[in-house]
């Protein structure tokens, strides 16, 4: 696909795709709880539910295999590109939509449990994955980023028929939030829906940006380099080759590497995960191999490097999650 193609010129259909099937699955989940929410879905440039709108934007890149592939190449991932992940994000965004529809953020108990919705969204945050005050669902400790995201993540866990939330969170502080959502959702069929707005925001047919412009803007927002430079420390153990063999080694030995590295009490599991994933991308982009060391086993060399590099990243504050 030509990167100078305008987004508005793409031929896309939401309900003729597997994404449309995911939407119908989650709508059926709502019905099992007698929640007949009048919600709209439209094609946009990202996942989002605008404030005050009972509707959800679905990113255009999910609607063809070629666009998913390009998104992964340009951004490093394509959020929602598997059925499981797509279902999870729709459930999360429905949490925002139902909040908008019934203005639940104005309820005193909701504010006491989740916090003030008017709190300003941060540009980035550092999650505390050990906290028991929040559910975990989409990853990156997203519930910790803002009170409204805490609400949407907790709603998604409650709605997901496979979450087993009553057992998984039974001894955690966040159970109070889940029980509140369970209670308020039982009451909603009796409540009057206050917002029926089905406004479509930033529909893709109005987006005159080229694919190139879209990806450049998205990389800047997420602070992603198109081609990541090779860290100085990595140059000491790597060499140029044509096979990306270092990336293959990192991918194949993730579990062993983490086991070796997490003996260092200063590091958290997610920090090591993010470092290894970053190094896999860099190694693929630059086709790096591992220098031969006849005296030291490869796994020991790489484990030591990844541990030291992760520690350095942590000291620099590199593990912030950008919104």
Q: What is the rounded average pLDDT for all residues in the chain?
A: 89
Burial class (CB in 10 A: 0-12, 13-18, 19+), 209: middle
Question: Which pLDDT score, from 0 to 100, does residue 88 have?
Answer: 97
Is the torsion defined by CA of 157, 162, 167, 168 positive or negative?
A: negative
User: Taking residues 288-292, what's their average pLDDT?
Assistant: 86
Residues 313/275, Cβ–Cβ less than 8 Å: yes
Nearest residue to 156 via CA among 134, 183, 137: 137
Nearest residue to 124 via CA among 108, 112, 135, 140: 140
Residues 251/218, Cβ–Cβ less than 8 Å: no
Question: CA–CA separation, 249 vs 254, rounded Å?
Answer: 8
Question: Which pLDDT score, from 0 to 100, does residue 173 have?
Answer: 96
Residue 201 pLDDT level (bands cut at 50, 70, 90): low
Residue 190 has pLDDT above 90, yes or no: no
Question: CA–CA separation, 30 vs 98, rounded Å?
Answer: 11
**More confident: 225 or 162:** 162
Which positions ≥6 away from 184 have C-beta within 8 Å? 104, 107, 110
Burial class (CB in 10 A: 0-12, 13-18, 19+), 323: middle
Tell me the three state secondary structure of residue 23: helix
Residue 294 pLDDT level (bands cut at 50, 70, 90): low
Least confident of 2-6, 85-89, 121-125: 121-125
Question: Which pLDDT score, from 0 to 100, does residue 316 have?
Answer: 80
Question: CA torsion 90→180→141→316, rounded to 10°?
Answer: 140
Q: What is the pLDDT of residues 23-73, one digit of tens each?
A: 999 999 999 999 988 888 999 999 999 888 899 999 999 999 999 999 988
pTM of the model: 0.81
Tell me the three state secondary structure of residue 241: coil
User: pLDDT above 70 covers what percent of the chain?
Assistant: 95
Task: Identify the helix (H) or strand (E) that includes residue 100.
Answer: helix 83-102
Question: CA–CA separation, 133 vs 174, rounded Å?
Answer: 5
């Amino acid at each position: 696909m030509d990167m100078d193609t305008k987004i508005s010129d793409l031929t896309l259909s939401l309900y003729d795709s597997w994404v449309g099937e995911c939407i119908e699955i989650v709508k059926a989940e709502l019905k099992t709880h007698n929640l007949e929410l009048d919600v709209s879905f439209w094609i946009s440039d990202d996942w989002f539910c605008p404030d005050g709108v009972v509707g959800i934007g679905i990113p255009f890149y999910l609607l063809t295999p070629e666009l998913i592939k390009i998104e992964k190449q340009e951004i490093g991932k394509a959020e929602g590109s598997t059925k499981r992940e797509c279902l999870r994000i729709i459930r999360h965004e429905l949490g925002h939509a139902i909040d908008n529809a019934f203005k639940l953020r104005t309820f005193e108990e909701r504010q006491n449990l989740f916090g003030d919705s008017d709190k300003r969204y941060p540009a980035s945050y550092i999650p505390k994955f050990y906290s028991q005050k929040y559910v975990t669902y989409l990853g990156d400790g997203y519930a910790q980023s803002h009170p409204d995201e805490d609400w949407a993540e907790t709603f998604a866990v409650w709605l997901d028929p496979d979450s087993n939330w009553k057992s998984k969170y039974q001894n955690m502080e966040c159970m109070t939030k889940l029980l509140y959502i369970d209670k308020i959702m039982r009451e909603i069929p009796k409540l009057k829906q206050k917002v029926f707005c089905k406004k479509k925001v930033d529909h893709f047919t109005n987006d005159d940006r080229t694919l190139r412009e879209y990806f450049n803007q998205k990389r800047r927002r997420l602070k992603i380099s198109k081609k990541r430079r090779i860290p100085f420390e990595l140059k000491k153990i790597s060499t140029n080759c044509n096979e990306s063999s270092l990336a293959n080694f990192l991918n194949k030995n993730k579990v062993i590497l983490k086991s070796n590295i997490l003996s260092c009490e200063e590091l958290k599991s997610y920090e090591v995960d993010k470092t290894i994933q970053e190094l896999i991308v860099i190694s693929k982009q630059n086709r790096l191999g591992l220098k031969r060391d006849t005296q030291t086993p490869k796994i020991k060399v790489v484990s030591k490097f990844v541990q030291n590099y992760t520690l350095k990243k942590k000291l620099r504050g590199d593990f912030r999650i950008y919104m």
